[in-house]
Amino acid sequence: MRLLIVIVNYRTAQLTIDCLHSVAPQVSSLPQGSTVVVTDNASGDDSVERLTAAVRDNRWGAWCKVQPLPRNGGFAWGNNEAIRPALASASPPDYVLLLNPDTIVRAGAIATLVEFMDANPRVGIAGSRLEEPDGTAQRSAFRFPGVMSELETGFRLSVVSKVLRRYVVAFPPPAQACPVDWVAGASMIIRRGVFEAVGMLDEQYFMYYEEVDFCLRANQAGWPCWYVPASRVVHLVGQSSGVTDEKKPKKRRPAYWFASRRRYFIRHFGRARTLLADTFWAMGHAIYRATIFARSKPANDPEGLLGDFVRYNFLGIRKDL
């Protein structure tokens, strides 16, 4: 197997089927033996039946299979359940492509990633240019979050962002292929050697921050990450989780978002620096909210964001918020 593509479905059967329709015309241009595995995180609806029927009716069975899972273990777990047996097989894949169900793959996007990895054997991870259906680029290449980036993220004021611009996590999308800290897991190709060096995706992240953590561990092991804008993938943002869609009223942040953020910071910065990062974010965000209130502008924040942040990170509340 040269390429394993993994799509994790959770109650998004139609999105996943649409994604597979975009992948199907590209299969013939992919390396021989390329396989797509759709894992279903115990959706509890008719997802497995619909996905199985789509594979059968569209005659995708030669390259695609549906793998029902016994529980919803999150994004990392759902991917690992397909990746782990493939890596342990007699013919492990050279590359693994993580692909969101809420994506539509533009022509040639997957082959472009494979060709880039073949041409750059020292690169461990590469990500596509994610874009809106009209072709507008989304921010999908990033710097690692850190203590100072949390200050900038909390403030969200242009004057502060200019001063702290080298700490801004989500910078404007580059026009050319270039090394970056991390790329979005919606379309991210990983060399087998990265798994051999750092292990699997961390299943303690239910959703969010798992790809940040993985790219950071890969970077520390000597496997850099690149952004490859020639690979173009439409990303229908937030359709899978309902958390990050900027076009709709923002939902309240779920507890797992706070838990994932906290795990990332404590794991890579320790408790003292995590406390400093939390303080910077809360202080900056409180000033931001006061500023826009004084200007009579809408905050456009998820409901209860500041209060939930304080309760989760400073007061130790771990139940659903």
Residue-level pLDDT at 242: 52
Cα R_g (the chain), whole angstroms: 20
Please give the average per-residue pLDDT across 80-91, as a whole number.
Answer: 97
Residue 150 scores a pLDDT above 50 = yes
Four-CA torsion 18, 24, 25, 29, nearest 10 degrees: 140
Looking at 73-87, 96-110, 235-249, which range is the least confident one? 235-249
Angle between helices 13-23 and 47-57 (to 10 degrees): 20
Q: How far is CA 245 from CA 43, 90, 119, 239, 240, in A?
A: 21, 41, 35, 7, 10
Q: Please give the pLDDT value at position 298.
A: 81
* pLDDT of res. 249: 57
- Compute the average pLDDT of residues 116-123: 98
pLDDT for the residue 86: 97
CA angle 285, 290, 253 (to 5 degrees): 40
- pLDDT of amino acid 3: 97
pLDDT score of 296 more than 90: no
Task: Indicate whether 147 pLDDT > 60.
Answer: yes
For residue 171, give both structure tokens: 């910078």
For residue 96, is pLDDT > 90? yes
Rounded to an integer, the average pLDDT of 308-315 is 93
Which is nearest to 128 in space by CA: 230, 208, 25?
Answer: 230
The pLDDT of residue 95 is 98
Q: What is the largest CA-CA distance in the chain?
A: 64
Asked whether the beta carbons of 182 and 144 are under 8 A apart, the reply is yes
> Residue 152, Cβ neighbours under 10 Å: how many?
24
Q: How far is CA 77 from CA 42, 82, 184, 287, in A?
A: 12, 9, 17, 38
Q: What is the mean pLDDT of residues 45-68?
A: 97
Alpha helices in 295-314 (DSSP H): 305-313
Work out the pLDDT band at 105, boundaries 50, 70, 90: very high
Two tokens at 154? 């909390």
**Phi and psi, residue 23, nearest 5°:** -80, -35
3-class secondary structure, 191: strand
pLDDT category at 321 given cuts 50, 70, 90 is very low
Question: What value does the mean pLDDT take over residues 155-184?
Answer: 94
Q: State the chain's mean pLDDT as an integer.
A: 93
pLDDT at 48: 98
pLDDT value for 270: 96
Summarised one tens digit per residue, pLDDT across range 24-49 is 999 989 988 899 999 999 999 999 99
Contact 215, 197 (CB under 8 A): no
pLDDT for position 206: 96
Q: How many CA within 13 A on the CB side of residue 320?
A: 2
Query: What distance in Å separates the CA atoms of residue 76 and residue 207, rounded to the nearest whole number?
Result: 7
- Report the first-to-last Cα separation within the chain, whole angstroms: 43
Looking at residue 81, its pLDDT comes to 98
Q: Which residues contact 272 (CB under 8 A, 6 or more apart)?
A: none
The whole-model pTM stands at: 0.93
CATH topology of domain 3-138+173-235: Spore Coat Polysaccharide Biosynthesis Protein SpsA; Chain A (3.90.550)
Q: What is the pLDDT of residues 186-210, one digit of tens each?
A: 999 999 999 999 999 999 999 999 9
Six-digit token string for 101: 């169900």
What is the arithmetic mean of pLDDT over 112-126?
98
